[in-house]
Amino acid sequence: MQKKIDFNLIYTADHGEIINVGHRLEKGREQYLIPFMYKSTNKHFNCAFIESFRNKDEYLSALMNKYILSELLGYDIDKNILRSEREYDRVLTDNENILPFPLEK
């Protein structure tokens, strides 16, 4: 009999890149659109769990990664802090300016 392995798998990147162009992004929203892959065998951490971290613009921000991981590890996150962070999405640009996200196309 095979033993079932419980797991949570998360893959994300630290920045975006364009296929066949690589890291040569200097400006634009493409550098802020990053992949996020998630798979779990735990029914409590299903797709609805991840979807609950999307912001009002339907983006899943990299700012939410620390909260997703914290909840997966069993920490209780204050819902007011989570809501505030989720709805005030922002990015740090290459010249260290903070801009609201999503950026205009």
pLDDT digits (tens, 9 = 90+) for 54-94: 988 888 888 899 999 999 999 999 999 999 999 888 888 77
Band of residue 41 on the pLDDT scale cut at 50, 70, 90: very high
> Is the predicted pLDDT of residue 25 greater than 70, yes or no?
no
Helix (H, G, I), strand (E, B) or coil at 90: strand
Band of residue 105 on the pLDDT scale cut at 50, 70, 90: low
Contacts of 70 (CB under 8 A, 6+ apart): 77
> Is the predicted pLDDT of residue 15 greater than 60, yes or no?
yes
Residue 63: exposed, middle, or buried by beta-carbon count in 10 A (0-12, 13-18, 19+)?
middle
What the block records as the tokens of 33 is 């659109």
This prediction has a pTM of: 0.77
